[in-house]
Amino acid sequence: DAEITQSPRHKITETGRQVTLACHQTWNHNNMFWYRQDLGHGLRLIHYSYGVHDTNKGEVSDGYSVSRSNTEDLPLTLESAASSQTSVYFCASSSRLDNEQFFGPGTRLTVL
Amino acid sequence: RKEVEQDPGPFNVPEGATVAFNCTYSNSASQSFFWYRQDCRKEPKLLMSVYSSGNEDGRFTAQLNRASQYISLLIRDSKLSDSATYLCVVRDDYKLSFGAGTTVTVRA
């Protein structure tokens, strides 16, 4: 069955370290998204991609970067992790922008 | 002002009860509306889309009021398995805006 996976599921890191969160989908969806979810806030869009080599900033992109070298993967990199980036990160994909987004299981990141 | 606002609840209801809650959105030009369900510490999943004329999916009824810019969800004959956080989601062009969620707990 097609699916979307994220790894690692849990990560503890230290302030200043570079961290990369993986997202992999097997639906062949063009559109992929990264969100963070914090208490009291809805999911907030970090970066998104409409296809290979396309990346765009979302509303909370500072301190994050993405690259899209193939259809299946959109890794999210925290260049220099900060405590404010402690959060749950969800990756999502969709076949069309007006279609349902399918979410991965999430990565819980703690920055100490 | 947040783009999508929801009453966080929690709504604690007995099995079999009806529970309803709303969300409001700020952009009058928003194009599509959805309710997603999120179980504790898990990923959000689409519950239902919300159409202008209102729509039902089994025990769930969604309504959209464009004039007042709010969306509602009603759950009839609540089951224990309905316990979850319900996210109101609004689409503007490519972008989905999520409310912080309304928590519903159904007790036996």
* Span A51-70, pLDDT tens digits: 999 999 999 999 999 999 99
Q: For the residues of A21-81, what is the DSSP string, one character each?
A: EEEEESS--SEEEEEEE-TTS--EEEEEEEETTEEEE-TT-TTEEE--SSSSB--EEESS-
Mean pLDDT of chain A: 95
A-B Cβ pairs (cutoff 8 Å, strict):
43
Q: Whole-angstrom Cα distance, residue B76 to residue A53?
A: 46
Q: Whole-angstrom Cα distance, residue A110 to residue B99?
A: 23
Residue A89 is predicted with a pLDDT of 98
Q: Which tokens sit at B23?
A: 């969300």
For chain A, what percent of residues have pLDDT higher than 70?
A: 100
- For residue A17, is pLDDT > 90? yes
Regions of chain B with pLDDT less than 70: 1
- Nearest 5 degrees, angle CA A67-CA A105-CA B45? 105
**Cβ–Cβ below 8 Å for B43 and A103:** yes
- Nearest 5 degrees, angle CA B59-CA B64-CA B65? 140
Q: DSSP state, A95?
A: S
Smallest Cβ–Cβ distance between A42 and the set B45, B94, B100 belongs to B100
Q: Whole-angstrom Cα distance, residue A47 to residue A49?
A: 7
Average pLDDT over residues A73-95: 97
For chain B, say whether A8 makes contact (Cβ under 8 Å).
no
Residue B94 is predicted with a pLDDT of 78
Average pLDDT over residues A44-55: 96
- For residue A98, is pLDDT > 80? no
For chain B, say whether A96 makes contact (Cβ under 8 Å).
no
For chain A, what percent of residues have pLDDT higher than 90?
A: 90
Smallest Cβ–Cβ distance between B98 and the set A31, A42, A48 belongs to A42
Nearest CA of chain B to the CA of A66: how many Å?
17
Given a contact cutoff of 8 angstroms between Cβ atoms, the answer to whether A75 and A69 are in contact is no
**Cβ–Cβ below 8 Å for A48 and B94:** yes
Given a contact cutoff of 8 angstroms between Cβ atoms, the answer to whether A81 and A17 are in contact is yes
Amino acid at A81: A
Q: Residue B42 to residues A26, B9, B36, B65: CA-CA distances in angstroms?
A: 20, 19, 12, 30
- Phi and psi, residue B59, nearest 5°: -85, 0
Q: Whole-angstrom Cα distance, residue B42 to residue B100?
A: 15
For chain B, say whether A55 makes contact (Cβ under 8 Å).
no
Could you tell me if residue A106 is left (phi over 0), alpha (psi between -120 and 50 degrees) or otherwise beta?
left
Residue A15 is predicted with a pLDDT of 98
Q: Which tokens sit at A111?
A: 């920055």
Nearest CA of chain B to the CA of A91: how many Å?
9
Q: Taking CB atoms and an 8 Å cutoff, what residues of chain A touch B98?
A: 35, 42-44
